[in-house]
Amino acid sequence: MAASVRLSPAARSLFDEPLAIAVQGLGPRQQVTLRTSLRDETGELFQASARYQAGDDGQLDLARCPALPGGSFSGLEPMGLLWALQPQKPFWRLVKRDVQSPFLLQLEVFEGHGERPGRLLAQAQHERAFLRDGVRRVPVRDGRIRATLFLPPGEDTFPGIIDIHGYGGGLLESRASLLANHGFATLALAYYQFEDLPQKPKELHLEYFEEAVNYMLQHSQVKGPGVGLLGFSKGGEVSLAMAAFLKNITAVASLNAPVAATCIPFSYKDKIIPPMTIYEHKAKVTNSKLLDYSDVTEDPFHAPGNQSLIPLEKAEAQLLFIVGQDDRVVKSEYYATEVCKLLQDQGKGNFQILPYPGTGHCIDPPFFPLYPIGSHPVFHKRAVLGGELRAYSKAQVHAWSQIQAFFKKYL
Catalytic site positions = 233, 327, 361
Nearest alpha-carbon partner for 83 in 24, 125, 128: 128
The count of other CB atoms within 10 Å of the CB of residue 240 is: 28
Dihedral sign, Cα of residue 354, residue 358, residue 361, residue 366 = negative
Burial 147-182 (b: 16+ CB within 10 A, else e): bbbbbbeeeeebbbbbbbbbbebebbbbbbbbbbbb
Q: Which helix (H) or strand (E) holds 373?
A: strand 373-375
368 vs 355: CA distance, rounded Å: 19
Is residue 252 packed enough to be buried (19+ CB in 10 Å), middle (13-18) or exposed (0-12)? buried
Q: Which amino acid is at 303?
A: A
Is residue 10 packed enough to be buried (19+ CB in 10 Å), middle (13-18) or exposed (0-12)? exposed
Q: 60: helix, coil or strand?
A: strand
230 vs 161: CA distance, rounded Å: 7
- The bridge status of strand 222-232 relative to strand 158-164 is parallel
Is residue 7 packed enough to be buried (19+ CB in 10 Å), middle (13-18) or exposed (0-12)? middle
Dihedral sign, Cα of residue 85, residue 90, residue 91, residue 92 = negative
Residues 6+ apart with CB under 8 A from 117: 33, 35, 108, 110
